[in-house]
Amino acid sequence: MRRFLDRYWYAYAMVLPVVVVIAVLVLYPLAQGVYFTFTNINEGNIANPVLERPATFDFVGFKNYLNVLSGGDSFGAFWGTLVRTLIWTFSCVFFHYTIGLGLAMLLNRQVRGRTLYRVLLILPWAVPAFISAFAWKYMFNAQYGIINQLLRSAGLPDPVWLGQSNWALVSVIIVNTWLGVPFMMVALLGGLQSIPGDLYEAAEVDGATPWQRFRHVTLPGLRSVSSTVVLLGIIWTFNMFPVIYLIAGPNPNARILVTYAFERFFSGASRDYAIASTYGVLILSVLLVFATIYRRALRKQGEVW
């Protein structure tokens, strides 16, 4: 042990600042959040230095978890919201991936004005999310929005997009798809460009049709990029707060786990920090479990490349 320290103290001294920073910035808030889930902390009993009021919240054990996991409406209908979150997440990532891949493949060949297309397609990404969110909110307006005007002029039914129905969820999925495609497209374009061209030629000589070349060369060649961006996409979308909140507000039909946690934290009669934290911890657990299963599944399919 002595010798170990004698030998490596320098290395440890070097990583110490980073360890401290991470501990302060990540571990401490995380630990505090977890601690709150075992209390009944809210706006009324948290320590308030302005009013010179000491903290008066109590330790309540697993009560918050029981309340949330029992799925009661007054605690945000956890299971229903979880299902909606999953629908939201997987449909968004599905459309991101398929549309992004399609566009990447179009851009990966010699077309005139390729750079221009690329810039145009990256644009949604470059615009601040709240601006595009408001633009979309306006377009979804039931009476004046361009979407319904078009639908009406085509003689199609014009739903109340952002009303109290599942159309609200459909709307936010459409907007988030529009926002998320550029990232996937750029990432997959990079992946496509890293596939050696002679593999396509070999497949062509081997007698593969365009679809078979896509299936047996493109998709396997994109595996490592895809597995990373899909995992990232799922985590981001699962926790995607601004799009839903800016477009649908607290509409329960478009509610996902994070937006409900936010609602509990910042609105309502008494700001219920304990329930919000409980939601936070549950979201983290769901994502951890998911990421573990995902990595297992990938590994089972064998190393890529």
Partner 1 sequence: MAEVSYVKASRVFSGNPPVRAVDELSLEVADGEFLVLVGPSGSGKSTALRMLAGLEDIDEGAIHIGGKDVTNVPPKGRDIAMVFQSYALYPHMTVAENMGFALKLRGVAKTEIKAKVEEAAKMLDLTKYLERKPKALSGGQRQRVAMGRAIVREPSVFLMDEPLSNLDAKLRVETRANIAALQQRLGTTTIYVTHDQVEAMTMGHRVAVLKDGLLQQCDTPRALYDRPANAFVAGFIGSPAMNLKTVPITSEGAKLDGVIVPLSRDAIAAAGGLDEVTFGIRPEALGIVPSGEEGMEMTVELVEELGADALVHGAVKIGDASQRFVVRVDGRTPPTLGQHVKVAVRDHSEIHLFHPETGERLEA
**Binding footprint of partner 1 on the chain (CB under 8 A):** 196, 198-199, 201-209, 212, 216-217, 220-221, 223, 304-305
Find out whether 264 and 76 touch, Cβ atoms under 8 Å: yes
Least gap, CB of 303 to partner 1 (angstroms): 8
Closer to partner 1 by Cβ: residue 121 or 217: 217
**Minimum distance, C-beta of residue 141 to partner 1, in the bound complex (Å):** 49
**Is 39 in a helix, a strand, or coil?**
strand
Alpha-carbon distance values, 227 to 107, 191, 221, 301, 303 (Å):
21, 11, 11, 12, 12
**Sequence-separated (6 or more) residues with CB below 8 Å from residue 59:** 38, 39
Task: Collapse the DSSP code of 48 into the 3-class scheme (helix H, G, I; strand E, B; otherwise coil) and give the result.
Answer: strand
Q: What share of the chain is helix, strand, coil (3-state, %, to 5)?
A: 70, 0, 25
Nearer to partner 1, 128 or 207 (CB): 207
Q: Residue 193 Cβ, how far from partner 1 at the closest point, in Å?
A: 16
Tell me how far, at minimum, the Cβ of 71 lies from partner 1, in Å: 43
Distance CA 296, CA 249 (A): 37
What is the distance between the alpha carbons of residues 260 and 265, in angstroms, rounded to a whole number? 9
Nearer to partner 1, 55 or 304 (CB): 304
Nearer to partner 1, 132 or 226 (CB): 226
Secondary structure of residue 59 in the 3-state scheme: strand
Rg (CA), the chain: 24
Nearer to partner 1 by C-beta: 4 or 305?
A: 305
Smallest gap from residue 207 Cβ to partner 1 (A): 4
Least distance (Å) between residue 215 CB and partner 1: 10
Residue closer to partner 1 by CB (options 63, 216) is 216
Min dist CB 295 to partner 1, Å, is 18
Measured from the CB atom, the residue of 196 and 249 that comes closer to partner 1 is: 196
**What single letter denotes the amino acid at residue 271?**
R
Q: What are phi and psi of 141, to 5 degrees?
A: -50, 130
DSSP category for residue 241? -
Q: How far apart are CA 137 and CA 229, in angstroms?
A: 28
Q: Coil, strand or helix: which one is 61?
A: coil
Cβ proximity to partner 1: between 58 and 201 the closer is 201
Min dist CB 228 to partner 1, Å, is: 16
